[in-house]
Amino acid sequence: MSIRNEFEKIDPTEKQKKDIFRRIEESSKIKTDFRHQVIRYTSVAAAAVVVVGAVTIGVHFVTKGNGIDYTVSGSSSGAVSAADASASRADDRKDNVQDGENKSDNNTSHADNSSANDNNTIHLDINTFKAQVRNDKEFWAEIGKQFGPYHYEDSTVRFDFINGFDDFKLCTDEAMGNEIIDKVKRQWLFDNIVDFGSGYHAIKGAKDLSTSEDIEKFTRENLINGEYFEADPEFFGFSDMKGFYDAASELYTGFDYDNFKSFIPYYYAEVDGKLCISKDHGLGEKGKPHHSVELGQYLLIYDNVDPSVIYCFVAVPEMIDSSSYSFSLDFYVFINTENGLRCSVTKERPITTCGLVTDELEITTDDYGNCLINKAFHDKIMNDELTDDEFTKLISYVYTGDVSINEQPNSLVKARTEYNKTIQRTFNRYILSGGYENDDEWHITPATPGNCHSMKEWYDTACTLYADMPDYDTFLSRYSEYFKFDGQGNFYYATGRPDEQLIGGKMPFNAPSYNLFDVSPRCFTVNESTSGGTGLSIGVLYFYSVGTDDTTYGVNVAYFDVKETSEGYRFVTNEG
């Protein structure tokens, strides 16, 4: 029985569906109370008018990411009036885009299309449009309208293409620009090859298949060992696993051939000396076209604090149809090391914009419902200075599930006094063992090049922070599944892909998780009656920096049952 079949067996009936919706309606009184307001796809998307020569060819609202493109098409000649253009919804396959499918029947405004009404127009001569560093404000301001300010959550960069262009020093070093362009292009192409969306383009002889009959015939005639198709060397640029490894080694270092084979996705295999692809990853769907990386427009900016760090924004036009383009935006961080430029981070699409920098208490939630507070709020919590109202407000934002927080700040202080010494150790173990809300954040983060740590070194560091660290052997046996080691004892987070351990030319990481969490979590008591009646539970507020400039913190809650023993309080994690 396949996993897919298992999921498909979870097939709620129409009656269930209707009944649940009826409950929702009753609960929310949506029948009587809801105001009619269209869904607001508030995005990020705005207009970018691409002009080829003197010909305006289209205006595109784009929300990227497996998503839906909202395309505004204009006239094919002369200056288009974006305001006259009609929003249309395009299928996420670019080759299937149908302009003009009018969505105006519900007056939907899919995007903040204010820019469609102004005169900011990018004039591009497509004939000279090639991968290049460009520093003109007009271009990036338009991209900024399309994607909004950029905030990179794990670093300090917060860049507003429209208003912040002068706040950063541009990298105008042509040689460095060329090197970065080359690296991004190679990485991009390699990423697309490693993680192709469909076997059609990657399987030898399959790219022209179009009908189910063709596919069945092809499968009958070409399946190897009942499991694999031969990879297409034209697509990959290599024909065997060694070629794959060699290509990867041009981009990444830090692994040997045997390691490499365990890093690449499961659907690759070598059969009879040929690189093959599992049929499971094969012929189910036509792949999407690759980014037009050769046309990427680069903006390179030095970090204001560390000039060896260069932020690289890449706007890439993607052909919608033969006459229309939209843009995607990628973000990379390069670090200039003794061994040359290293790319440390790749991010597609902007991350949540955080601007909580004022002295007033600010609290909000991000797109995923995570509670964010500013430093003023954070400091007030840490100093136990919250008023009742402020505490109530905080708790109303923090996702507490069905737990009723009846206790007020005085009990928070009490709980802190009473429990903090021991909860601190428990909490550290809780975080170290993975947490539950931020499974990506408990573990070590990418290293600064040249700042490598051995496992033992990291362990010793952790011991200075965590009071209850087990002995080294126990630690290894307990957590080894999360780490891998190289021959020199350097370690890295267990992952499946080369680009996560390429940092610094080796593969080590530093900065254990304590950097990401406040080391003084704050307790509050959970009302006994809501904790099951079998004993007292406490909630622990804990914080993690969003960015490294300490202006914005995420807030989470972990719950523990409290047991009082002759040796003091013990805390048992209370995660179902």
Partner 1 sequence: MSDYSSENIREIYERHFVTVYRVCFMYLRNVHDTEDAVHNTFMKLIEKQKCFESTEHEKAWLIRVSQNVCKNMLRASSRRRESPAGDIAVNDSSAVSDVMIELSALPDELKIPVYLFYCDGYNSKEIGSMLHISASAVRSRLQKAREHLGSERSIV
The per-residue DSSP string of 39-107 comes to ----BS---EEEEETTEEEEEEEE--SS--EEEE---SSS---GGG--EEEE-SSGGG--TT-B-GGGT
- Separation of first and last alpha carbons in the chain: 28
Which SS3 state, helix, strand or coil, does residue 123 take? strand
Residue with tokens 């299937």: 96
Binding of partner 1 by 65 (CB under 8 A): yes
For partner 1, give the closer residue by CB, 36 or 220.
Answer: 36
Binding of partner 1 by 496 (CB under 8 A): yes
Site for partner 1 in 128-147 (CB under 8 A): none
For partner 1, give the closer residue by CB, 62 or 82.
Answer: 62
Of 519, 547, 518, 515, which is closest to residue 357 (Cα–Cα)? 547
| Among residues 440, 460, 468, 564, the one that binds partner 1 under rule CB under 8 A | 440
| Among residues 47, 58, 59, 63, the one that binds partner 1 under rule CB under 8 A | 63
For partner 1, give the closer residue by CB, 91 or 389.
Answer: 91
Which SS3 state, helix, strand or coil, does residue 432 take? helix
Binding of partner 1 by 537 (CB under 8 A): yes
| Among residues 399, 421, 468, 520, the one that binds partner 1 under rule CB under 8 A | 399
Binding of partner 1 by 445 (CB under 8 A): no
Q: 115: which DSSP letter? A: G
For partner 1, give the closer residue by CB, 3 or 305.
Answer: 3
Residue 40, exposed/middle/buried by CB under 10 A (0-12, 13-18, 19+)?
Answer: exposed
Which SS3 state, helix, strand or coil, does residue 197 take? coil
For partner 1, give the closer residue by CB, 266 or 472.
Answer: 266
Count interface residues toward partner 1 (CB under 8 A).
81
- State the alpha helices, DSSP H only, in 466-516: 472-479
| Among residues 84, 195, 256, 384, the one that binds partner 1 under rule CB under 8 A | 195
| Among residues 402, 471, 473, 567, the one that binds partner 1 under rule CB under 8 A | 402
| Among residues 280, 384, 385, 388, the one that binds partner 1 under rule CB under 8 A | 280
Site for partner 1 in 12-51 (CB under 8 A): 12, 16-17, 19-21, 23-25, 27-31, 33-45
Binding of partner 1 by 3 (CB under 8 A): yes
Binding of partner 1 by 68 (CB under 8 A): yes
Query: What is the four-CA torsion angle of 248, 249, 253, 258, rounded to 10 degrees?
Result: 80
Provide, rounded to whole angstroms, the least separation between the CB of residue 6 and partner 1.
5
| Among residues 149, 164, 197, 505, the one that binds partner 1 under rule CB under 8 A | 197
Q: How far is CA 26 from CA 22, 75, 410, in A?
A: 6, 48, 38
Cα R_g (the chain), whole angstroms = 27
Site for partner 1 in 365-394 (CB under 8 A): 365, 367-369
Site for partner 1 in 147-166 (CB under 8 A): none
Written as one letter, the residue type at 563 is K
CB 50 within 8 A of CB 76: no
Provide, rounded to whole angstroms, the least separation between the CB of residue 476 and partner 1.
19
Binding of partner 1 by 265 (CB under 8 A): yes
Provide, rounded to whole angstroms, the least separation between the CB of residue 23 and partner 1.
5
Whole-angstrom distance, CA of residue 342 vs CA of residue 447: 12
For partner 1, give the closer residue by CB, 39 or 305.
Answer: 39
Site for partner 1 in 326-355 (CB under 8 A): 346, 348-349, 351
Q: How far is CA 81 from CA 85, 86, 122, 123, 126, in A?
A: 7, 10, 13, 14, 20
User: What are the start-end ranges of the E strands in 361-513?
Assistant: 363-365, 371-374, 445-446, 483-485, 491-493, 509-510
The torsion angles phi and psi of 567, rounded to 5 degrees, stand at -95, 5
Those residues with Cβ within 8 angstroms of residue 521's Cβ, 6 or more apart along the chain or in another chain: 420, 423, 424, 427, 540, 541, 542, 543, 558
For partner 1, give the closer residue by CB, 18 or 456.
Answer: 18
Binding of partner 1 by 500 (CB under 8 A): yes
| Among residues 210, 534, 565, 566, the one that binds partner 1 under rule CB under 8 A | 534
Whole-angstrom distance, CA of residue 61 vs CA of residue 40: 14
Site for partner 1 in 72-111 (CB under 8 A): none
x-or-dash string of contact with partner 1, 285-324, rule CB under 8 A: x---------------------------------------
CB 541 within 8 A of CB 521: yes
Provide, rounded to whole angstroms, the least separation between the CB of residue 334 and partner 1.
17
For partner 1, give the closer residue by CB, 340 or 496.
Answer: 496
Written as one letter, the residue type at 312 is C
Binding of partner 1 by 497 (CB under 8 A): yes
Helix (H) or strand (E) holding 269: strand 268-271
| Among residues 191, 362, 379, 549, the one that binds partner 1 under rule CB under 8 A | 191
Site for partner 1 in 542-561 (CB under 8 A): 559, 561
Binding segment for partner 1 (CB under 8 A), chosen from 171-179, 210-218, 269-277, 436-444, is 436-444
